[in-house]
Structure 1
Amino acid sequence: MHRALRSHQQQLAGVVEAIATGQTELRDILAAVTPGGGKSLLPVIAAARLIWAGIVERVCWIVPRDSLRLQAEEAFADPNWRLALDHAVSVRAAENAPDPCRGLQGWITTYQGVAAAPELHLAEFRKQKTLLVVDEVHHLPAEADPDAPEEAAWSRAILPLLEHAAVRLLLSGTLERADGRPILWLPYRRGQGARTREVDLQAPGFAVIGYSRAQALAEKAVLPVDFGALDGEAEWLDEERRRTGPHPVSGPPEVGRAALFTALRTGFAQDLLRRAFAQTRDLRTERRARLGLPPGETAMGLGKLLVVAPDQENARRYLDWLREWLPKGQADTVARIATSDERDAQEVLAAFRLRPEPSVLVTVAMAYEGLDAPSVSVCAALTHIRSRAWLEQMIARATRVDFAAGPYETQRAVVLHPDDLLFRKFRERIEREQGTLAREKARRRQGELPGLPEGMEREAPIIPLASNATAMHWHRLAPGPEFAAARPEHARPEETAPAEAPSVRERALRSRIGQMVAAQVLEDEGGLRIPRGAVAHHAYSAALKRVMGKGRAEMTLAELESTIAWLERNRIGDHLHLLEGDPRYGWSVRQRRFDFRTEG
């Protein structure tokens, strides 16, 4: 089994084995894994072994956003890892409804879901021994922050779950918050500087697993990054409505901030976006030829473009530009947008991850953290956020290895970004970490880790006028050396049919039941067994609910399948007497007393 695992996954497997066999009393595991390094398999490894050993009976996985719930389901349902780990644990993406597991071994919810119904989730923890997985735990502050009341509410709701969990697995790509506050549940000690603190990696009762970008590169778990830094000039009206500029985007902070704000909303952004579009087009042409696909045919593994915009208004503007550059017949399907205001955002994200089209996605923040889309090869970083953790998550969308795209050596991540001072500092740090030899640096104390200013949380009240791009500087880095440790040996995506996630299967079965009920209603109306009317479908659904003992929304997978089997052998019309006495369905009682055709 371990030959198919990365080093951090092997470390976790060792810790979990020690817990399962009683070799240790620790119950807290912290996994600090570089973005894109493969955190999603860690809960599967932990849950499979601990449930089998009887240490826990269920798993609850809490993720930051609703878009990540299905991905978490898929991690457990992946047939290759089910075979490699010899596990049969299934979980479901649950709403805030009773019995979130529905007969399975766990459920996945969000921070918002727990905060909205804390007692519901706590009651489940009190029923059975539960492994609690908290994804991206750095979102949870240990101290209340008046500027972030939502995060404080998440912490208050999740803390009782942490206290009642049998085992806790905390996942994060960073051990620090942008606001400097401590992270919920993590142990701290005094830092080197005055009035500083740092995570205590040697705290008793905690097992800490680390996986740096250098390690991930050496093991070929992530791709090296080619940074394309685009400089430009911008003009704007300042606070007093005086014309200012042109000033370079790469200029000092006193003008660079306003120049970047302007550039992301005017001609510079269009130029950077066009270059990213061209990079993606050329990459797809190259891969299509290498994979032997004829022109115009699409498939997974050709590479995709992710565009991160500064706000929703500009996201829509970027989408319009992209569609202008595409053939008219393809524009609406090839380029899509996913923002919180779009009704179909979740469907678009799922299609971007799992299907050949769309191959271009424009978003603001929905896809920056946790999006598991290995097909992303090019990222257009048209955002003004300069938090190190945020940027690391963003570029990690492009650094995942795509097994459908061919050998590792033929792949690379391309990130095009404005050449402003703060992004340059961030990029230089990433370059030092990934280097051409990917050497593991000596560990530095957290108190000495260099930080970056947060950048542009509040924009200056300026009016952008115009901007243009001037020069592109490439910073290309070779991959690390050959590394003998194994690369996941599971099959390429196209060689194995993807598993159906439990919640997807539930929706499909509910839909099929609805169709079967509607078919029986139409048949009975056509045969004059019941009068025509809108109430018929509701009555049949109510009768089916009484026959089966619960509604479709509350059923487990097994119960949904049993309901379909019952409908295949029985007529609901023969059970309408179960509605007798319910005034909403009075006609159903009458139809049991005399034949509707006789009355007619």
Structure 2
Amino acid sequence: MARGEADGVSDILAAVTPGGGKSLLPVLAAAHLINAGRIERVVWVVPRDSLRLQAEEAFADPLWRASLGHSLSVRSSENAPDPSRGLAGYVTTYQAVAAAPMLHLKEVSRNRTLLVVDEVHHLPVPSSSLDRNDAEGEEASAWSRAMLPLLQCASLRLLLSGTLERADGRRILGLPYYPAATTHTPEIDLDAPGWAVIGYSRAQALAERSVLPVTFGALDGEASWLEGGRAAGQARVGPHRLGGAVRNTTRPALFTALRTGFARDLLQEAFGATRRLRARRRAERGFGPTEFARGLGKLLVVAPDQASARHYLAMLQSWMPAAQAERDVRLATSSERDAHEALAAFRLLPEPAVLVTVAMAYEGLDAPDIAVVAALTHIRSRPWLEQMIARATRVDPHAGSYTDQQALVFHPDDPLFARFRAELENEQGSAARARKTQRISALTPERVVWSDEEPRAITPLESNAIGLRYALLRPITVARAERARASNALNPAIGCPDSERAPSLSERLLRQRLSATVAAQAAEDEANLCIPRSGNRPHRYNAVLKRVLGKARAAMTLAELEAALAWLERHRLSDHLHLLDGDARYAWSARHRSGGWLSKRPSP
């Protein structure tokens, strides 16, 4: 764009995995486009007041200044006149724009402006039928109505998001969508005129070591509660296991666990892991127990509500000497006067080492020191959970080499969180295919629509933890390499020459390689935004391969299997998805391909 080679582009959409470094993009764009005379000012709008300082820091970062050769600065502004004050631009919030829309519209229209909309998924397309019944939706729609004139007036627009979807299913303001019936899930038109799309998935970020792998500590437990109105009398329910909860017990069991003994047990596990990590890193560096230093690792505690957050704070402080508790543990909630100071200290200073919050710090918080997260929250929407675990996946430059770092997330072992983990692992390519749907039972997750609202008429009684298990969510390349090493160790014949291997074993190995190659192509195409997210993409790609070759793998000879593998190494299955047209079993794929998702794969 700076060289004039992309004059038709006026909108840039950056779908970057949380923690993938999207805050560099506004600096990169401003450094090149202001120098080229394409724009004159930058207006960066963020969803939370706590993120304004981080945006200022992004422009002031000395390493980025040296790398990009720029000397630009922006200032954090509210609604005072002349928000830029002679600098290259300013940073404000959605709330500030909604409070004084004309002030910001004049600033955007006065100069050729690059408008940066951070976490654009916070802005829904206004819908009056939803707004009237939902206070949160009404506030978000007010932000959207105030932001719309700025989007229309800006010379260039840079829209950033780590989660290009909303929990309520509504469309996101400013994004191009395919026309579809209101009952269908909205789909973004990645080939819309005037748009450039940047996709950076978690799988790509892990492969490039831009984010850390995650180890989940899943804590199971039992919970009991009273249910029913006081007039009719309350009945005791439980104990029910969190990990075995079904349709009617998942929400109340989780609600109870987060407010009783189970929460204390999970918090103790996270607190103990943080202490052990900090002690180990102190010993490795030769620091004494009272020396302060960056890179030792910190704990972020995400609570379900403010009352629970204060209870967790008191619990944590009771496990330390008074002086240390006052220094090391802070609370950041919307009702605390010093919440922003606590957030800033947690981000920028060696101490405090523990921060308790509800929602202020879950999204956009750039604190690479965070190594452990205690996920004591009832929210189970996927975008929220992705943002939460991403607080611990940033690479800490003060904590040593990449291989010595790892994010650790402790969470209740309920079916909804387990499903989220399975989806995340599927999309990284660590799992070849989704599990088959089973009937609802005490051993399988519920399949009804989950609501993050708290259950009514519930009185928590007691809960306790009964077991902890760890699971490492690994990048696809590491997972494949480890599976290959394990397979070789269990079967020495794998390392034999082809002539010395039994034909049945050779066929089985070739079929395994075919399956892995098909799954890899499906995962790569989705990561590169060539196909929409879906749990059964390897199944569709396998169907395409069968149509191309005219025979199922189970019926192929050794020579045919070798030929099939050679064909896959030279071709992409996404170029042959038209072979599924007319088959009712794959009507969904054909419909989306015709809409533009599958037919326009990026050039190699």
| Unaligned 5+ runs, structure 1 | 1-17, 442-450, 483-600
How many angstroms apart in 2 are the aligned matches of 1:288 and 1:101? 43
Following superposition, the deviation at residue 287 of structure 1 comes to: 1.0
- Deviation per residue, 1:275-314 (Å, 9 max, x gap): 0000000000111112221222121000000000000000
Query: What residue is the counterpart of 2:420 in the other structure?
Result: 426
Cα 1:350–1:454 shift into 2, 3 Å? farther
For residues 15-54 of structure 1, the aligned pairs below 5 Å read: 18-54=1-37
Is the Cα–Cα contact under 8 Å of residues 40 and 72 in structure 1 kept in the other structure?
yes
| 1:124 partner letter | E
Q: Does 1:198 align with 2:187?
A: yes
Is the Cα–Cα contact under 8 Å of residues 203 and 475 in structure 2 kept in the other structure?
no
Is the Cα–Cα contact under 8 Å of residues 56 and 131 in structure 1 kept in the other structure?
yes
Is the partner of 1:231 in helix, strand or coil?
A: strand
Structure 1 counterpart of 2:237, from 213, 238, 244? 244
Q: Does 1:298 align with 2:260?
A: no
For residues 306-345 of structure 1, the aligned pairs below 5 Å read: 306-345=300-339
Query: What residue is the counterpart of 1:596 in the other structure?
Result: none
Query: What residue is the counterpart of 1:182 in the other structure?
Result: 171
Is the partner of 1:330 in helix, strand or coil?
A: helix
Is the partner of 1:237 in helix, strand or coil?
A: strand
Query: What residue is the counterpart of 2:394 in the other structure?
Result: 400
Following superposition, the deviation at residue 435 of structure 1 comes to: 5.2
Is the Cα–Cα contact under 8 Å of residues 44 and 116 in structure 2 kept in the other structure?
yes
Cα 1:410–1:452 shift into 2, 3 Å? farther
How many angstroms apart in 1 are the aligned matches of 2:280 and 2:112? 52
Query: What residue is the counterpart of 1:573 in the other structure?
Result: none
- Deviation per residue, 1:67-120 (Å, 9 max, x gap): 000000000000000000111110000120110011101000000000000000
Following superposition, the deviation at residue 432 of structure 1 comes to: 2.5
Query: What residue is the counterpart of 1:517 in the other structure?
Result: none
Following superposition, the deviation at residue 429 of structure 1 comes to: 1.4
Is the Cα–Cα contact under 8 Å of residues 140 and 184 in structure 1 kept in the other structure?
yes
Following superposition, the deviation at residue 419 of structure 1 comes to: 0.7
Query: What residue is the counterpart of 1:71 in the other structure?
Result: 54
Is the Cα–Cα contact under 8 Å of residues 187 and 200 in structure 1 kept in the other structure?
yes
Structure 2 counterpart of 1:267, from 258, 261, 272? 261
Query: What residue is the counterpart of 2:371 in the other structure?
Result: 377
Q: Percent identity?
A: 63
Query: What residue is the counterpart of 1:568 in the other structure?
Result: none
How many angstroms apart in 2 are the aligned matches of 1:327 and 1:191? 60
Is the Cα–Cα contact under 8 Å of residues 20 and 49 in structure 1 kept in the other structure?
no
TM-align CA RMSD: 2.0
Query: What residue is the counterpart of 2:281 in the other structure?
Result: 287
Structure 1 counterpart of 2:97, from 91, 109, 114? 114
| 2:470 partner letter | W
Query: What residue is the counterpart of 1:414 in the other structure?
Result: 408
How many angstroms apart in 2 are the aligned matches of 1:325 and 1:435? 41
Q: How many residues align?
A: 455
Query: What residue is the counterpart of 1:278 in the other structure?
Result: 272
| 1:323 partner letter | Q
Query: What residue is the counterpart of 1:585 in the other structure?
Result: none
Is the partner of 2:322 in helix, strand or coil?
A: coil
Is the partner of 1:101 in helix, strand or coil?
A: coil
* Greater mean alpha carbon deviation, residues 144-153 or residues 154-163: 144-153
How many angstroms apart in 2 are the aligned matches of 1:394 and 1:154? 23
Following superposition, the deviation at residue 474 of structure 1 comes to: 0.9
| 1:304 partner letter | K
| 1:131 partner letter | L
- Deviation per residue, 1:193-250 (Å, 9 max, x gap): 9634311111111101100000000010100000011110011100241111101112
Following superposition, the deviation at residue 192 of structure 1 comes to: 10
How many angstroms apart in 2 are the aligned matches of 1:118 and 1:304? 39
Is the Cα–Cα contact under 8 Å of residues 2 and 32 in structure 2 kept in the other structure?
no
Is the partner of 1:286 in helix, strand or coil?
A: helix
Is the Cα–Cα contact under 8 Å of residues 387 and 452 in structure 1 kept in the other structure?
no
Following superposition, the deviation at residue 356 of structure 1 comes to: 0.6
- Deviation per residue, 1:356-388 (Å, 9 max, x gap): 110000000000000000000000000000010
Cα 1:29–1:466 shift into 2, 3 Å? same
Is the partner of 1:226 in helix, strand or coil?
A: strand
Is the partner of 2:223 in helix, strand or coil?
A: strand
How many angstroms apart in 2 are the aligned matches of 1:371 and 1:317? 23
Query: What residue is the counterpart of 1:154 in the other structure?
Result: 143
| 1:169 partner letter | L
Query: What residue is the counterpart of 1:465 in the other structure?
Result: 461
How many angstroms apart in 1 are the aligned matches of 2:198 and 2:279? 40
* Greater mean alpha carbon deviation, residues 350-359 or residues 20-29: 20-29
How many angstroms apart in 2 are the aligned matches of 1:30 and 1:454? 29
Q: Does 1:475 align with 2:468?
A: no
Is the Cα–Cα contact under 8 Å of residues 430 and 476 in structure 2 kept in the other structure?
yes
Q: Does 1:389 align with 2:367?
A: no
Following superposition, the deviation at residue 127 of structure 1 comes to: 1.2
| 1:120 partner letter | L
For residues 224-239 of structure 1, the aligned pairs below 5 Å read: 224-239=213-228
Cα 1:279–1:85 shift into 2, 3 Å? same
| 1:312 partner letter | Q
Is the Cα–Cα contact under 8 Å of residues 115 and 158 in structure 2 kept in the other structure?
yes
Q: Does 1:100 align with 2:83?
A: yes
Cα 1:335–1:34 shift into 2, 3 Å? same
Following superposition, the deviation at residue 433 of structure 1 comes to: 3.0
Is the Cα–Cα contact under 8 Å of residues 426 and 452 in structure 1 kept in the other structure?
no
TM-score, with length taken from structure 1: 0.74
Cα 1:454–1:93 shift into 2, 3 Å? farther
Query: What residue is the counterpart of 1:8 in the other structure?
Result: none
Is the Cα–Cα contact under 8 Å of residues 347 and 369 in structure 2 kept in the other structure?
yes
Is the partner of 2:372 in helix, strand or coil?
A: strand
Is the partner of 1:466 in helix, strand or coil?
A: strand
Cα 1:386–1:194 shift into 2, 3 Å? closer
Is the Cα–Cα contact under 8 Å of residues 113 and 156 in structure 2 kept in the other structure?
yes
Query: What residue is the counterpart of 2:501 in the other structure?
Result: none
How many angstroms apart in 2 are the aligned matches of 1:48 and 1:280? 39
Is the partner of 2:251 in helix, strand or coil?
A: helix
Is the Cα–Cα contact under 8 Å of residues 300 and 374 in structure 2 kept in the other structure?
yes
How many angstroms apart in 1 are the aligned matches of 2:342 and 2:38? 39
Q: Does 1:57 align with 2:40?
A: yes
TM-score, with length taken from structure 2: 0.73
Following superposition, the deviation at residue 22 of structure 1 comes to: 4.4
How many angstroms apart in 1 are the aligned matches of 2:2 and 2:175? 20
Cα 1:126–1:103 shift into 2, 3 Å? same
Cα 1:477–1:347 shift into 2, 3 Å? same
- Deviation per residue, 1:413-457 (Å, 9 max, x gap): 0000001111110011122234569x9x9xxxxxxxxx9944322
Is the Cα–Cα contact under 8 Å of residues 169 and 185 in structure 2 kept in the other structure?
no
Is the partner of 1:176 in helix, strand or coil?
A: coil
| 2:317 partner letter | R
Is the partner of 2:323 in helix, strand or coil?
A: coil
Q: Does 1:141 align with 2:130?
A: no
Is the Cα–Cα contact under 8 Å of residues 339 and 345 in structure 1 kept in the other structure?
yes
